[in-house]
Structure 1
Amino acid sequence: MPQTAEASRLRRTLTSAPALALVCGALVSFGQAPFGLWPVTVLALAGMFHLIASAPNLRRAIGLGWWAGLGYIAATHHWIVMPFFVDAARHGWMAPFALFAMSAGIALFWAAAAALGFVAGQDRTARLWALAIALPLTDLGRAYVFTGFPWAPLGAIWLDTPVAQGAALVGPYGLALVTCLIPAALLTLHRHLVVSGLALVPALALAGFGLLRETQPAPDTDLTFRVVQPNAAQHLKWDPDYVRDFFDLQLTLTEAPVEGPSPDLIIWPETAVAYGLGDKAPAMKMMAAASNDTPVMFGVQRRKGERLYNSLAVIGAGGQVTATYDKARLVPFGEYTPYGAVLDDLLGIGNFAAEAGNGYSHGPRGQVLDLGPLGVARPLICYEAIFPQDAGSNNGRPSWIANLTNDAWFGDSVMPRQHLAQTRLRAIEQGLPAVRAANTGISAMIDAHGNVRERLDLKTRGYFDATLPGALPETIYAKTGNLPGILLLFALYGVLLYRARLYPH
């Protein structure tokens, strides 16, 4: 009898609304890379919307939104524990706390969406539509609030479908709105056929636009790039006993025989050169010799006075530095720590990827590199590629996107696959090809439709030579950015909020 009572309690717990919300949130993640199961996301969102819209009061709705957000963020961000195990003896104990803290914190955005949806709806149906607007609104908020962290945006679930091409028109948050309108329409279809049917029109329209856009040609350039992937394990990458080995390996891959056209540019990944820029001139000369004076783009730490930068540099003949870019958007608590010196002294909290204390300094935003015959590159170092508002430039339109990254911190997890997916989305939004050089993978040549032309998979050592795809005409999103989406979401939410106040339940 006690066992029966215990089983009954367990059953009630597992079928409780918070548990169901948690499960729904976790299932929403299956639309993201590497799964791409967008129907699962749509159905899971429908379940989540139903739970929140049926909540008896605002407090309950907020709680359910938080539980759903916890499930989604934990499922899509669980890779955050991996850096703690690079030096497991020192940092491993922090991993579960970091995952919970991050998930619980970002889940507050979903709790806010639940609150916005609940207060703007005078009944269950109105709350469903309000949620369909509020969740994309808070998805957008993740790109800006507290320096921003828009990882795994809802709109990315469409990446391998024609709908994704709609990012060229409406950006990732317009895709998020389309995503959320579908479950709201499904839940109200039996009672409001016309309205629900109209809510499905944007998704169908973007699918049609995508099919048409995929036929739009973008002739290849006459440039050939070689992308080098050394597969340097993170726990060895900075080890003095291995630094020279990894450097020599990249030299060997750089000077490997050419089967087709000779490369016009050779690209190494983020922090590929451990010596620092300028303090080991012989290293630059060795790189130029290995490339036969072909320009080499590479990631490197650069010191200027008292400041240290996570940088990208280009060298030409003789190892002469011809261009540099300093990473503008740094990873909080990874590349810099606010009040880092104080925290390191008091609590021993330094940085994983940078020096202890304040870490790297921020470079200026929106820089491009005019590389002459190689075109105008928009550099995005690692984490910068997840910010759609940063992929363009205020200094004229780039020719291509250069994404140098080191995802070795995160091992063979979903993170490098999700990171690649978001770089592909940037290519679609901007109508530009993107070249991705990743230390341990996934390196890729991506065309302006977001298709991967060439790639080196995770944990692979090697290189590829590929023609740089051409650019498409400048997209509407590249011209307008997120502003139209922000105005539309606020306008739609304002209409629902006004209606709720005008016609209270």
Structure 2
Amino acid sequence: MTPTAPVLRSSASLALLSLFSGILLPLSLAPFGFWPLAWLSLIGYFWVTERAQSPKQAFWLGWCYGAGLFGLGISWVYGSMRTVATPIPLSVLMTTVFCLAIALLPGLQAWLYHRFFKQGRGSQWLAAPLLWLVFEWVRSWLFTGMPWLFAGYALTDTPAGQLGAVLSVYGLSAIIAFSSAALAMALPAQLNRSLRWAPGLGVAIIVLSMGLGVVLPAERWTTAVDSADVVAIQSNVAQAQKWQSSQVRPTLEFYSEQARRYDSADLMIWPEAALTVRPERIPAYLEDLERVGNERQQGIITGIVTQQEGRYFNALLGFGTADGEYRKQHLVPFGEYLPFEQQLRGLINFFSIPMSTLTPAPEPQTPMPWMHRGEERYLAPVICYEAAYPGLTMALARESDLMIMVSNDAWFGDSLAPHQHLQITRMRAIENSRAIVRSTQNGITALIDANGEILERSRQFEVAAVTGSINLRQGMTPYQRWGGPYWALLPLVGLMMLGWLRRRDD
């Protein structure tokens, strides 16, 4: 046995532990919901990266963590590719490459910690969790953003989740990160006598956040000003059939039938791109929708693709007592627009999918007006993937009485994604203390209250109409007033400067 063998065994063990720790975080989220695993996941990450002997090894261990996190957490990318008949080998290859590529971010996070912060005062219990928070924020915008699998979503069904109205999902991630970093310091090979208080601090953070969530529910920050009877429609059209020309008439007839059946609702919501024909091709149909809505004093909002000057938009249109057009602001790469279009389009079926030539809204969008019982109310519209962006959603919601979210989760099939997406949507309700009407093509359609609780929901893969009464609310949450986690950058820069000065003096 060579002298390096024990070191290699130790490195392999750390890599396996890091990989396993990464897998635990998706298990803490929907649909699994084992939320205590979020702490075990981050404790494992902080402990393993702290034991790295060099920035290079720290990067490797962080990358292993990311491989576990994204390999399980966004495995649904494979199903999305198969939905458009991408061959199985290519689907596996592209999903693997994507997951391993985004796993580089936790690797970079670990490298930065080891390179600039590890030797500094407060590194374990301050710099490490701050870096975690900053990298979740970076993930929300880098290369158009992948704001998925944030640790804070694990708290959605706990009392501490209500603090999202104060701290946003980033702040909830901070609760888990800071308490995990402190608890990790009680583990073997990391216990520091001068920091024996740290594990107690970690427990205190958890207990305090749970207690505060009990006494500060999200709805505390806003006031119910009215109520409305709503219905959210779920069509259950298979994605492979949705855009076929033979499906156009059955689709129009289906939604006409839903409009006739639910004539007493104050507001009816149809899913993303529910109508697969552009408005100028069905003027009589839409005129009839407008007339029926006005006769009933009912707002009807549908997803549809609109165009202007040769550009196409994934949009929502209001009819009856609802008005206006909302254009999707944040498109999904490869799903709704194609990076490097000239090089890739037509290369494989995946790069020629319907709706992959869309344009994002050229200007910031505003809430949609809706007349309800003689009062002008405002609806905060969000389309599909936009629900994952806290800042975008917050900008619309704070000027609105009710949030509406439409989606086409048929892309994801029977995978983790629809459940994760619903959990993300519930957090947006908490952050903004607004009820949400959520309509999807094949599930999960739901009515969600201002505390993020599901009032009514559909099952997946069936035709459904989710009905109920919800509150309209006004007021602003602390998160809507204060904004996101940019404050985390300042102490990180300060710690980095202190570390640089210390190394220079040495």
Name the TM-score, length of structure 1 as normaliser: 0.88
Match of 2:458 among 456, 461, 468: 456
* Alignment match, 1:108: 104
The answer to whether the 8 A contact 2:303-2:317 is kept is: yes
Letter in 2 for 1:295: G
* Alignment match, 2:274: 272
Letter in 2 for 1:163: A
| TM-superposition CA deviations, 1:7-61 (whole Å, max 9, x none) | x99x969953222211211112211111221211211221222111101111000
Structure 2 portions without partners, runs of 5+: none
Q: Relative to structure 1, is the Cα distance of residues 248 and 290 closer, same or farther in structure 2, using a 3 angstrom cutoff?
A: farther
Q: Relative to structure 1, is the Cα distance of residues 461 and 494 closer, same or farther in structure 2, using a 3 angstrom cutoff?
A: same
Q: Indicate whether 1:203 and 2:210 are aligned.
A: no
Q: Relative to structure 1, is the Cα distance of residues 347 and 264 closer, same or farther in structure 2, using a 3 angstrom cutoff?
A: closer
Match of 1:72 among 69, 73, 81: 69
Q: Post-superposition shift, 1:195?
A: 3.6
User: What is the CA–CA distance in structure 1 between the aligned matches of 2:51 and 2:64, rounded to whole Å?
Assistant: 15
- SS at the partner of 1:222? strand
Q: Relative to structure 1, is the Cα distance of residues 395 and 419 closer, same or farther in structure 2, using a 3 angstrom cutoff?
A: closer
User: What is the CA–CA distance in structure 1 between the aligned matches of 2:478 and 2:444, rounded to whole Å?
Assistant: 29
Q: Relative to structure 1, is the Cα distance of residues 129 and 118 closer, same or farther in structure 2, using a 3 angstrom cutoff?
A: farther
Q: Relative to structure 1, is the Cα distance of residues 479 and 268 closer, same or farther in structure 2, using a 3 angstrom cutoff?
A: same
Matches within 5 A, 1:43-62: 43-62=40-59
* Alignment match, 1:436: 438
The answer to whether the 8 A contact 2:378-2:401 is kept is: yes
Letter in 2 for 1:203: I
Match of 2:305 among 285, 288, 301: 301
* Alignment match, 1:4: none
Q: Indicate whether 1:40 and 2:30 are aligned.
A: no
User: Is the deviation greater in 382-391 or in 140-149?
Assistant: 140-149
The answer to whether the 8 A contact 2:335-2:355 is kept is: yes
Q: Post-superposition shift, 1:342?
A: 4.5
Q: Post-superposition shift, 1:162?
A: 1.1
Q: How many residues align?
A: 485
User: What is the CA–CA distance in structure 2 between the aligned matches of 1:396 and 1:39, rounded to whole Å?
Assistant: 32
- SS at the partner of 2:230? strand
Q: Post-superposition shift, 1:201?
A: 4.0
The answer to whether the 8 A contact 1:367-1:395 is kept is: no
User: Is the deviation greater in 180-189 or in 414-423?
Assistant: 180-189
Match of 2:417 among 415, 418, 424: 415
Letter in 1 for 2:55: L
User: What is the CA–CA distance in structure 2 between the aligned matches of 1:224 and 1:144, rounded to whole Å?
Assistant: 36
Matches within 5 A, 1:230-309: 230-256=235-261, 262-285=264-287, 287=289, 293=296, 294-309=298-313
RMSD of the alignment, in Å?
2.8
The answer to whether the 8 A contact 2:125-2:198 is kept is: no
User: What is the CA–CA distance in structure 2 between the aligned matches of 1:398 and 1:125, rounded to whole Å?
Assistant: 42
Q: Post-superposition shift, 1:388?
A: 0.3
* Alignment match, 1:5: none
User: What is the CA–CA distance in structure 2 between the aligned matches of 1:471 and 1:497, rounded to whole Å?
Assistant: 43
The answer to whether the 8 A contact 1:85-1:92 is kept is: yes
- SS at the partner of 1:372? strand
Q: Post-superposition shift, 1:502?
A: 5.1
Q: Post-superposition shift, 1:455?
A: 1.0
User: What is the CA–CA distance in structure 2 between the aligned matches of 1:386 and 1:297, rounded to whole Å?
Assistant: 21
Q: Post-superposition shift, 1:375?
A: 1.6
| TM-superposition CA deviations, 1:225-275 (whole Å, max 9, x none) | 1111111111111122223223322222332267xxx21111100000111
User: What is the CA–CA distance in structure 1 between the aligned matches of 2:179 and 2:352, rounded to whole Å?
Assistant: 42
Letter in 2 for 1:308: Y
Letter in 1 for 2:215: L
- SS at the partner of 2:279? coil
Match of 2:91 among 84, 88, 95: 95
Letter in 2 for 1:338: P
| TM-superposition CA deviations, 1:111-140 (whole Å, max 9, x none) | 121022213011898346432221111011
* Alignment match, 1:377: 379
Match of 1:393 among 367, 392, 395: 395
* Alignment match, 1:212: 215
User: What is the CA–CA distance in structure 1 between the aligned matches of 2:211 and 2:414, rounded to whole Å?
Assistant: 36
* Alignment match, 1:222: 227
* Alignment match, 2:183: 186
- SS at the partner of 2:307? strand
User: Is the deviation greater in 412-421 or in 288-297?
Assistant: 288-297
User: What is the CA–CA distance in structure 2 between the aligned matches of 1:14 and 1:112, rounded to whole Å?
Assistant: 18
Q: Indicate whether 1:314 and 2:318 are aligned.
A: yes
The answer to whether the 8 A contact 2:29-2:153 is kept is: yes
Q: Post-superposition shift, 1:474?
A: 0.9
Q: Post-superposition shift, 1:65?
A: 0.3
User: What is the CA–CA distance in structure 1 between the aligned matches of 2:165 and 2:216, rounded to whole Å?
Assistant: 9
The answer to whether the 8 A contact 2:234-2:442 is kept is: yes
Letter in 1 for 2:101: G
- SS at the partner of 2:312? strand
- SS at the partner of 1:35? coil
User: What is the CA–CA distance in structure 2 between the aligned matches of 1:396 and 1:490, rounded to whole Å?
Assistant: 25
User: What is the CA–CA distance in structure 2 between the aligned matches of 1:93 and 1:104, rounded to whole Å?
Assistant: 16
Match of 1:145 among 142, 146, 150: 142
